[in-house]
Structure 1
C-alpha cells in the first residue's frame, strides 16, 4: 500500500487525507501574529484546574474534541490515536485523552511529535488498518519550564538563543476519504547528534537533524527545493534557521526562498519577549493546524514539506552532562483539488 522511496521515505499509493484539524493556544500565543487563526484562545493558562500539567491535558482534550467535531466524527469512529507530549511518561496525553476511550499509541519525539504522529497515522490509514486516525500533541510553557528548566517563580534570566515553549495543543483527523489536503509521503528522521550541550539553544541542537531529513527527502524523491511552495521547520527559531540554511548550502541545496519556521511565525519578535522564537510540541502542531493547513486546503500552496524538529533530551540526560541529540520528521502535504 506504500512505495518505498530511497533510504528513509515513503510515498503512499493509497491516498491519505487530513479530514480536519483544531488548535488550542494560550493568551500569549493568541496575542501573536497568528492569534486570529487559532480555534480556541484560552485566557486562563491553568484552564480552571490545579496544575500546569492538568491544564495541558485539558488543552489536549479540547483540541481532540474540536477536531472530531469539525470532522463530524464521534470518538468511537476513531480506530487509533497517536499522541505525545514533553512531560515525563507523556502524562499530558495519557490523562488528557483517557475519556475518549480509544486505542492509543503514546509517542515521544520531543517537539517533532506532531510530525511523528502524522507520519504513523498516515502509514496506518494507507496500510488499511484504520479508516480514521487521530494525531495530536501538546505543550505548556509552565509545565515545560518546571520539567526542564526552573519553576516560574524562580524568575531566571534567559539567553537570547533560548526559545519560548508554546502553550497549546493541536489535533488532526486523518482518513482515507478525499478532502483538499493529502499526505502524499513522509521522510522518517534519524537521530543526529553534533555533541552540543546547551539546552538553552535548542535551535542549534535541532538544525543538523532538520538538514539531514530535508536533504534526504530531496534525494529520496529526486526533487529540488523549488518544487515546493514552502519547506516549513517546527521550531528552530532565528538561531537554528541560520544554521540550517548554511548546512543545506553545504549539501548543495538552497531553501532560503522556500523556508519558513513555525517558531518564528507564532510570536512577534519585536513586541513579545520570547527570545529566538517558539518551541515545544505545540509550536509546529498549532501553526500547522491553524495557518499551514488552511493554505493547502484553499489551494494557495500546492505542496509543502512540514518538518517538525525535536531535541531529544530529558532532565536526567541534562544533569548527567549528556549532549542534546536532534530529530526531524518530514511530512509532505499536497493540495488535492476539489472534494468529491
Structure 2
C-alpha cells in the first residue's frame, strides 16, 4: 500500500462482491431506476417518523446486499455507514439491529466513499474479510433538519437540489471472482471556496471535487481520458457545469459526470438536481456497479462530495467547508 499525499494504492485490490440499493417513491422515475433493487411506495409508513423510515431503508439495503452476496449477517466483520441526521441516528439504530461491529462516519454527502475507503483499508490490512459499507439520506428528514419542514411549503431557488430518499451499500471482500475491484482511493481535503448559500451546494462543493480529482490524477499518473467515466456525487447541474469549467483545458468531454445532475433527469421540479448522502451511494452501487460488472466500463473514478455545514454554523454566518472522497474501480476477472 503506497500513500502519496492522500492517495492510497491497494495491493490486494478489495472486491465489491455485491451491492444493495433501496429508494423512495420520488425516485421511481429516475433514469437509474431500472438498476435499483427496490423502490418503496412510501417515504414513511403509518406511525413511523421520517428518521425511523431512514433506518428502515438502511436495514433493507443492507439485507439486500448480504443476500445478493450469498452471505449471512453473522459472517460480516463490520458495518460502516453514515447519514445526514443528528448524531447519525438512523445509521446507529440500523447498527443496533444488525448487531455487528460498527463504525459510524460523517463526511456529509461524501460519507458513502469514506465508508468504502475505511472498509477497503481494513480488508487490505487483513483485519477483516467482509464489510458492509455505504450511506443513506431521507428527503423529509433532511429538509426538516437543514432547511424547513416540508409542511412549511418554503419555495426554493433554481440553484437548490432535492435530497434523495435512498440507501446504498456494498459488500467488500477480498479476491471475489468476476467482481469490480478497488485499486486506489484519494482521501479528500477540506476546501472552502467562501460560499455561504446553503441552497447553492453545487458552487460550494465543486472546488473540493476539483482538488480531489486533480490530486488523484497526479498521484496515479493518469489523465481524464484514461477513464470511462469520472462521476461526482451530487454537484447537481450547476455544480457540474462549474467543475467542467475548472477542467476546461482537459479532455473532459462526457467523461466528467455527476449523479446529482442526472438523478432526476430533466424534470425542472427538482431544480438543479439531486443531493444527499444517498445520492452518490444509490447511483454508484446500482448503475455504475452494473456497468462495471457488464464490461461497459473498464475503469471509473467515483467522487462523492460533501458540504460540511450544520444548521448552527449557517446561523452563525460561517462559510461552507466541503470535502470529496474518491475511489477508483476497475473490472477484473479473477479465477
Q: TM-score, normalization: structure 2?
A: 0.97
Query: Root-mean-square deviation (CA), in Å?
Result: 1.1
1:308 alignment partner, one of 304, 311, 334: 304
Counterpart for residue 261 of structure 2: 264
CA distance in 2, matches of 1:47, 1:73: 29
CA distance in 1, matches of 2:115, 2:131: 10
Aligned residues of 1:162 and 1:202 also touching (Cα < 8 A): yes
Counterpart for residue 197 of structure 1: 196
Helix, strand or coil for the counterpart of 1:172?
Answer: strand
Counterpart for residue 28 of structure 2: 30
Aligned-pair CA distance for 1:268: 2.1
Aligned residues of 1:233 and 1:306 also touching (Cα < 8 A): yes
Aligned-pair CA distance for 1:99: 1.0
Aligned-pair CA distance for 1:187: 0.6
Question: What whole-Å deviation, never above 9, does each CA across 1:48-107 have from its counterpart, x for those lacking one?
Answer: 452111000000010011100111111111111111100110001001231110111110
Aligned-pair CA distance for 1:265: 2.0
Counterpart for residue 81 of structure 2: 83
Counterpart for residue 228 of structure 1: 227
User: Measured at CA, do residues 334 and 47 of structure 1 come closer, stay the same or move farther in structure 2, by a change above 3 Å?
Assistant: farther
CA distance in 2, matches of 1:221, 1:242: 25
| Residue 111 of structure 1 pairs with residue 109 of structure 2 | yes
For residues 136-215 of structure 1, the aligned pairs below 5 Å read: 136-179=134-177, 180-215=179-214
Counterpart for residue 121 of structure 1: 119
Aligned residues of 1:111 and 1:282 also touching (Cα < 8 A): yes
Higher deviation after alignment, 105-114 or 178-187: 178-187
CA distance in 1, matches of 2:263, 2:123: 30
Aligned residues of 2:78 and 2:101 also touching (Cα < 8 A): yes
| Residue 326 of structure 1 pairs with residue 315 of structure 2 | no
Aligned-pair CA distance for 1:182: 0.2
Structure 1 residue runs of 4 or more that deviate by more than 3 Å after TM superposition: none
Q: TM-score, normalization: structure 1?
A: 0.96
Aligned-pair CA distance for 1:246: 1.6
Q: How many residues are matched?
A: 334
For residues 232-247 of structure 1, the aligned pairs below 5 Å read: 232-247=231-246
CA distance in 2, matches of 1:48, 1:31: 24
Counterpart for residue 93 of structure 1: 91
CA distance in 1, matches of 2:161, 2:72: 37
CA distance in 2, matches of 1:15, 1:220: 17
Counterpart for residue 133 of structure 2: 135
Aligned-pair CA distance for 1:143: 0.2
Question: What whole-Å deviation, never above 9, does each CA across 1:141-187 have from its counterpart, x for those lacking one?
Answer: 10000000001110010100000000010110000132320011101
Any stretches of 5+ residues in structure 1 without a counterpart?
A: none
